[in-house]
A and B are shown apart, each in its own frame.
Chain A
Amino acid sequence: MLEPISVSMESLNLGTLAPMLVAIVGALGILVIDLIKKDLDKTLYVMLSVLILFVDLGAVFGQRLGDRGFFDVMLIDGLAILSQIVILAASMLFIPLALTSRRFHEYSYPEFFALFLFMVAGFQFMVASDNLILIFVGLETASLALYTLIALHNRERSFEAAIKYFVMGALAAGFYVMGAMVFYALTGSVELYKIAEILSVSGFANMTLVLVGVSFMIAAIGFKLSMVPFHTWTPDVYEGASAALAGYMSVVPKIAGFVVAMRVFELLIHSDVVWVRDVLYVAVVVTMTLANIIALVQRDVKRMLAFSSISHAGFVMAAIMIGTTQANSALFLYWILFLFTNLGAFAMLWVSRHKAAVWGDGRFDHPYEKFAGMIHIMPVGAVVMALFMLSLAGVPPFSLFWGKLYIMSAAVNSDYIILALIMAINSAISAYYYLKLIVYMFLKDPSESGRTVYMKNASKPLQTIIGFSVFLTVFAVLAVDPMWEFISTYVQASGF
C-alpha cells in the first residue's frame, strides 16, 4: 500500500498556474455565455477576450521570477515570463482584428474565441515548463486549436492549409515523442534540467544516442519554427489562413517554439556539444537564405511575407545557436519588435482583403499587382505599408533594424563574424522583395482603375491597431533601451 500523500497548498505554488487558468476559465466562460444566450455579437466576444487576456497579462506580471510550481512541473523563469508577455501582447493585438467591417465565417462562432483562448493557454503552458510532457501537451493543445482556427475561415484554401498543417504537425509530434523517448532512455527523466544534469554527470557517455535524440528534437521544434526543410507548410498555411491569423502565426507559435528550443538546445550548447552548434549553424544559414531566395520570386504578398517570416525566424534562431545572454536577450527584443511590425503588415493585408480574388488569374488574394499605384489611391495606407516593409527589411531607424543590430552584435561578440556577414547579406537580399512591394505601391500606376478599393475591410479598431503598430515601428528606438534592460534582466535571471 502506498502512503497517503499530503501536499501543502503553498508547495503547489498556485500562482504559477494563474495566467493559464485565467485563459482557460475565460474560454470556458465564453462557452457558457454562448450556451446561455445564442447569437450574441462578435464584438462582445472580442472585448471579453481582450479583457481576459488583459487579466491574464496581469497575472503574468504577478508571477514571481524563478518560481516552480506543481511538483516542479511549472517553471516560471525569465523566459517564461517574457514569452508569455509576447504571446499575450500579440494575442491582444490579434483579437481586435476580428472587428472587421466585412463579415467572416470564423467570427460567427463564439467557439472561435474560446478556442483562441485555449490556444493561448496551451502556448503559455508550453513556455512555462521544462517538463517534456507538459511541453508536449501544451503544444498539442495549442496546435489542435490552431488547426481549427485556420479551418474556420471556411474556404477551400483554409481547409487545405489546416489539413497540411495538421498532417505535418502529426508527423512532427511523432518526431517529438521519439526525441523525448531517446532522452528518457538516456536519462530516465523527462525534465530538462534533470536531463542536463544527468547527461553532464555521465559525461555524454552515449553520444550517438544523444545526438539522435537531438535530431528528433530539432526536427520537431524545427517544424514549429519552420526551419528548412521542415518549413514547407508555412507559406501554404499562411496563404490559406486569414491574413490576421497568418500574422499571428508568424509571431506567437514561433516565440513558444523559440523558448522550447532555447531550453532544449542551450543545455547542450552550454555543455559544448559542438554538433548541435554546427548543425544549428547550418540550419540557420540555410533557413535564412533559402527562405529569402524563394521569397524573391513570390507573386503574392502574403506568401512573400510567409517566406520572410521564415527567414526572420532563421535569423533569430541564430541567437539560440550563439547562446550567450546577449544573444538570447536579443532574440526577445527582435521578436517583440517583429511582433508589431509583422502583425502590422499582415493587418494591412487583412484590411485590404477582398472577398473575391479578382487580380490576375485569381490564384492569389494579395498579388503584388493589387497594390500597384496605391500611393495615388490610398496615400496613408501606402505609406504605412511601406514603413512596415522598410522595417522588415531592416532599414533604420525602424523597429526591426534594432533587432537585427542586437542579434548581429551578439554574433559579432561571440566571434561569429562570418555569421554576421551572412546575416547582413541576407538582409540585403531580403530588401529586394520588400522593396518590390514598395515599388508596386509607389512607383507603378494603378493597373485597373475600377478595382482600387483597398480599405473595404478597414474599421476603426483595425486602423487603431495598425496605427499603434506604426507608432511602435517608427519610434522603436526610444523603446529599445528600456526594453533591453527589462529583457536582459529576465533572461539573465533564468540563466540563459
Chain B
Amino acid sequence: MDHILSVLVFFPAVAGLLGFVVSKESIRAYGISVAAIEFFLSLWLWFSFDGSYPGMQFVEVLPLIPSFGISYYLGVDGISLFIVILSTFITLIGLIALSIEKDVKNMIVSLLFLEMTMVGVFVSLDAILFYVFWELSLVPMLYIIGAWGGELRVYAAIKFFLYTFAGSLIMLVGMLVMAYLYYQATGVWSFSITEWHRLILPMNYQIWLFIAFFIGLAIKVPMFPFHTWLPYAHGQAPTIGSVILAAVLLKMGTYGLVRLPLPMFPDASVYMIYPVAVLSLIMIIYTAMVAYAQKDMKQVIAYSSVSHMGVIVLGTFAMNPEGITGSVFFMLSHGIVSGALFMLVGVIYDRRHTKLMSEFGGLAKAMPRYATIMGIMVMASVGLPLTMSFVGEFLSLAGFYQISHTMTILAGSSIILGAVYMLSLYKKSFFGDVVHEKNKKLKDLDGKESMALWTLVLVTVWLGVYPKPVLEPINTSVESLVSFMHKKAMTDEAKSVIRPTVIKREAE
C-alpha cells in the first residue's frame, strides 16, 4: 500500500467529519472503532516497516506549492514510526477510558481531528507541512481544554494556545530564513526537511537559526523557563486532554529537536549543548522540587512531566546514538507512563471531583486495584528497571555522560527527586487510613477503565522487559542520523563531540 501514511493522517479527520452523522448514543462506539482502525493501521505500518533500513520509508511526495518549494511530503523512519504508533495508541486508549458525558460528540470529533494533526506532525517531512499540523494541533486541544476543563479552563486554554503559537511563529521565521538560505545555495526553493539537512551553513547562521527553531520547540517541550503554561493546561484540562497533551503533544517538541535543529545545525547544536543542558538541568531539578510542593495530584504529575522532558532533551543533546535513541525511547515511555498517570488521576477525579491529595488517604484500602495500577505507574514514572521509563532514562543519561560527567550526576538526581515527589504523592493519597467518609465507598475501577489501564501497564512492562522490537529500528535510524551529523559537522569540536557508534557490540 503506497499511501498508507496519507491514509493514516487523514483517516481520523474524515472519520471525524462523518462522525457528525452518528447519533449521540453510538458516538462513543464509533470513536473507539475509528481509533482502533487507525491504531491497527499504524500497527500495519510497523509490520511493513523495514527496521534495518535507516532512511525514510513509505515516502509520499506531491508538490503543493511548487513555485515556493512547498510539497506534501510524508515519510517515516525509526524515529517517527513509534511516536506515530504512540499517538494512535494513546488516542485509542484515551477514547476507551473516556468518561465525559457532556457534548461527547464534539469531544470525540475533536479528538479525531487532534489525532490527524498528531500523526501529521510526525510523518511530515516538509517544514511547512510540519508547521501546518503543528499549529493545527493547537485548535482541537484548545477546545478540549477550554470546553471540558476545570475552573480556570479558559485561561489555561488560551495560555496554552498563545504561548505555543508565539513560539512556533518564531520558528516559522527560522524556517523561512532556512528556505531562503537554501534558495541562495541551490537556486531552488525547498521546504523539504531532508533537503535542508544537506545544507551546510556558516556557524553564525547556524546559531541564530538554531535559536529560532529552539524557541519554538522549547515552548512546546516545555523547557524552563517556558514551562508555565503546562501546569495550567494540565491542571485544567479534562483527563483525556491531559493524557494526550502529556503523551503526545509534548513529544512534538522533542521530536522536532531531533528532526530539525540537530541534523540541520550540528555545529550550532554542539555549541549550544551547555546552555541547553543547563536549562534541562534546571528543568529536571527545579520542577522536581516544584512538583514536590504541589497539593494537587495532577499538578504533581504535570510538573513531573516537565522534569522528565528535561531528561529527554538532555538525552537528545548527548549527540551520540545511545543518548538520542534513549531520548526517543523515553519519549515513548513518558507518553505511556504519564498518559496512564493522568488517566489514573482522572479516575479518581471522576469519582470525587477533587484532585487534592489532602482529600484522600488510604485509597489503597478503598480501591486496591486502582492502587495497584497507580503503584505500578508511579514506579514506572520513577524509572524502575523493567519498566519502559528505565530504558529511556538510562540510555539518555548514559548518553549524556559522555558530554559531561557533573551534569549527568546532577541530572541523575531526577531519579532521586522523582522518587521523592512520586512516593510522597502515593503515600499521601494511597497510604494511611481512610479518613474521609466519602472515600470509604469509592468504587474501584470499572471495566473500561481497567481495560485501558491494564493495557498501558502491559505495554509499560513489555517494553521495559523486551524493548528490542522498538529500540532496534529507532537505533538504526538514530545511528545513521548521528553519523550523518558527524560527517556534516564542520568544526573539529563538533566532530569530536558528535560520536557515531565506535564501540561495536561484542555479540557480533
Task: Identify the A interface with B (CB < 8 A).
Answer: 375, 390, 393-397, 401-402, 405-406, 408-409, 412-413, 417, 420-421, 424-425, 427-428, 431-432, 435-436, 438-439, 442-444, 477-478, 480-481, 484-485, 488
Q: A481 and B65: CB pair below 8 A? A: yes
The complex places the Cα of A488 from the Cα of B165 at a distance, in Å, of: 30
Q: Given A395-B136, A428-B166, A443-B147, is A484 in contact with B131 using a C-beta cutoff of 8 Å?
A: no
A420 touches B153 (CB 8 A): no
Q: Is the CB of B158 within 8 A of A439?
A: yes
Q: Which residue of A lies closest to B163 (CB)?
A: A428
Would you give the shortest CB distance from A470 to chain B, in whole angstroms? 14
- Please state if B176 and A409 are interface contacts (CB–CB under 8 Å): yes
Given contact pairs A395-B135, A439-B157, A412 touches B176 in the complex (Cβ within 8 A): yes
Collect the chain B residues with CB atoms within 8 Å of residue A432's CB.
158, 162
Q: Are A424 and B173 in contact (CB under 8 A)?
A: yes
Q: Which residues of A contact B179 (CB under 8 A)?
A: 409
The reply to whether B165 and A428 contact each other, CB–CB distance below 8 Å, is yes
Q: Which residues of A contact B65 (CB under 8 A)?
A: 402, 477, 480-481, 484
Chain A residue with the shortest CB-CB distance to B133: A396
In the A-B complex, the 3 residue pairs with the smallest Cβ-Cβ separation, listed nearest first, are: A428-B166, A424-B169, A443-B146
The contact of A427 among B67, B136, B161, B169, by CB within 8 Å, is B169
Q: Are A477 and B64 in contact (CB under 8 A)?
A: yes
Bound Cα distance from A118 to B392, whole angstroms: 71
What is the bound-complex CA distance between A395 and B140, given in angstroms? 12
Contact B180 A409 (CB under 8 A): yes
* Contact present for B64 and A481 (CB under 8 Å): yes
With A395-B136, A481-B65 as known contacts, state yes or no: A412 contacts B173, CB within 8 Å: yes
Write out the residue numbers on chain A whose beta carbons fall within 8 Å of the beta carbon of B161: 431, 435
Q: How far is A488 from B67 in the complex, measured between Cα atoms in Å? A: 11
Q: Are A425 and B166 in contact (CB under 8 A)?
A: yes
* B138 adjacent to chain A (CB < 8 Å): yes
- Assess the A417–B177 pair: CB atoms within 8 A: yes
Which B residues touch A396, using CB under 8 A? 128, 131-132, 135-136
Besides A405-B128, A428-B162, A442-B147, 20 new A-B residue pairs in contact (Cβ under 8 A), listed by A number: A375-B106, A395-B165, A396-B131, A397-B136, A401-B132, A405-B176, A408-B172, A408-B173, A409-B68, A413-B180, A424-B173, A431-B166, A439-B146, A442-B143, A443-B143, A443-B153, A443-B154, A481-B68, A484-B67, A485-B67
B173's partner among A393, A421, A442 (CB-CB below 8 A) is A421
Which residue of chain B has its CB nearest to the CB of A326?
Answer: B68
A423 to chain B, nearest CB (A): 8
A402 CA / B106 CA spacing, docked (Å): 28
Q: Are B157 and A443 in contact (CB under 8 A)?
A: yes
Chain B residues with CB under 8 Å of chain A are 63-68, 106, 128, 131-132, 135-136, 138-139, 142-143, 146-147, 153-154, 157-158, 161-162, 165-166, 169-170, 172-173, 176-177, 179-180, 183
Q: How many Å from the CB of B352 to the closest CB on chain A?
A: 24
- Within the complex, what minimum Cβ distance (angstroms) separates A410 from chain B? 9
Inter-subunit contact B158/A428 (CB<8 Å): no
Q: Considering the chains assembled together, what is the distance between the CA atoms of A438 and B161 in angstroms?
A: 12
Contact partners of B166 in chain A: CB under 8 A: 424-425, 428, 431
Min CB distance B211 to A, Å, is 11
- Given A413-B180, A439-B154, A481-B68, CB of A431 within 8 Å of CB of B173: no
Closest to A477 in B: B64
List 11 interface pairs A-B (beta carbons < 8 Å), by A numbering.
A395-B135, A396-B136, A405-B176, A408-B173, A412-B180, A424-B170, A425-B169, A428-B169, A435-B162, A442-B147, A443-B146
* Set of chain A residues within 8 Å of B158, measured between Cβ atoms: 432, 435-436, 439
Chain B's closest residue to A397 (CB) is B132
- The complex places the Cα of A408 from the Cα of B131 at a distance, in Å, of 15
For A488, what are the chain B residues with a Cβ–Cβ distance below 8 Å?
A: 67
Q: How many A-B residue pairs have CB under 8 A?
A: 98
Q: Which residues of A contact B157 (CB under 8 A)?
A: 439, 443
CB nearest to B169 among chain A residues: A424
A480: B residues at CB distance < 8 A: 65, 68
Q: How far is the CA of A439 from the CA of B156 in the complex (A)?
A: 12
Residues of B within 8 A of A439 (CB): 146, 154, 157-158
**Contacting residues, chain B, for A427 (C-beta < 8 A):** 165, 169
Chain A residue at smallest Cβ distance from B178? A412
Separation of A412 and B169 alpha carbons in the complex (Å): 13
Whole-angstrom distance between the alpha carbons of A484 and B70 in the complex?
Answer: 13
Partner of B170, one of A413, A421, A435: A421
Q: Closest CB of chain B to A422's CB: distance in Å? A: 10
CB distance from A446 to the nearest CB of B (A): 13
Kindly report which residue of chain A lies nearest to residue B164, judged by CB atoms. Answer: A428
Please indicate the chain B residues that have their CB under 8 angstroms from the CB of A428 in the complex.
162, 165-166, 169
B177, A412: Cβ atoms closer than 8 Å: yes
CB distance from A204 to the nearest CB of B (A): 32
CA gap between A397 and B165 in the complex, in Å = 14
Q: Do B172 and A405 touch (CB < 8 A)?
A: yes
Smallest distance from the beta carbon of A297 to chain B beta carbons, Å?
Answer: 15
Please name all residues of chain A whose beta carbon is closer than 8 Å to the beta carbon of B66 when the two chains form the complex: 481
A412→B189 CA distance, assembly (Å): 14
Q: Which B residues are CB-close (under 8 A) to A412?
A: 173, 176-177, 180
Q: Which of B67, B132, B183 is in CB contact (< 8 Å) with A481?
A: B67
CB distance from B495 to the nearest CB of A (A): 29
State A488–B170 Cα separation when bound (angstroms).
Answer: 27
CA distance A431 to B128 in the complex (A): 19
| Beta-carbon nearest neighbor of B149 in chain A | A443
Contacting pair A442 B176 (CB below 8 A):
no
By the criterion CB–CB under 8 Å, are A420 and B147 in contact?
no
Q: Which residues of A contact B139 (CB under 8 A)?
A: 390, 395
Instruction: Kindly state the separation between the CA atoms of A467 and B142 in the bound complex, as whole angstroms.
Output: 24
Given contacts A390-B139, A405-B176, A481-B64, contact A431 B146 (CB under 8 A): no
Q: What is the distance, in angstroms, from B447's C-beta to the closest C-beta of chain A? A: 31
Alpha-carbon distance A428/B146, docked complex (angstroms):
19
Q: How far apart are B92's CB and chain A's nearest CB, in angstroms?
A: 25
Chain B residues with CB under 8 A of A478: 64
Q: Which residues of A sit under 8 angstroms from B153, Cβ to Cβ?
A: 443
B142 neighbours in A (Cβ, 8 Å): 435, 438
- Specify which chain B residues have a CB less than 8 angstroms from the CB of A375 in the assembled complex: 106
User: Are A420 and B132 also in contact (CB < 8 A) when A481-B64, A481-B65, A481-B68 are?
Assistant: no
Instruction: Name B158's closest neighbour in chain A (CB-CB).
Output: A435
Report the bound CA distance from A408 to B212 in whole Å. 14
Within the complex, the shortest CB–CB distance from B285 to chain A, in Å, comes to: 30
Instruction: Please indicate the chain B residues that have their CB under 8 angstroms from the CB of A390 in the complex.
Output: 139
With most chain B CB atoms within 10 A of its CB, the pick from A409, A413, A421, A424 is A424
Q: Write the nearest CB–CB distance from A171 to chain B, whole angstroms.
A: 37
CA of A421 to CA of B143, assembled, Å: 28
Which residues in A have their C-beta under 8 angstroms from that of B183? 413
How far is A222 from B139 in the complex, measured between Cα atoms in Å?
Answer: 35
* CB-defined contacts of B64 to chain A, threshold 8 Å: 477-478, 481
**Nearest CB in chain B to that of A428: its residue:** B166
Asked if A431 and B165 make an inter-chain contact with CB atoms under 8 angstroms apart, the answer reads yes
A180 to B426, CA, bound (A): 78
Chain A residue numbers with a CB within 8 Å of B173 are 408, 412, 417, 420-421, 424
CB distance from B351 to the nearest CB of A (A): 25
CB distance from A440 to the nearest CB of B (A): 9
Shortest distance between the CB of B438 and any CB in chain A (Å): 28
Contacts of A443 in B (CB 8 A): 143, 146-147, 153-154, 157
Contacts of B143 in A (CB 8 A): 442-443
Determine the distance from Cα of A397 to Cα of B132 in the docked complex, in whole angstroms: 6
Q: For residue A151, give the distance in angstroms from its CB to the closest CB of chain B.
A: 39
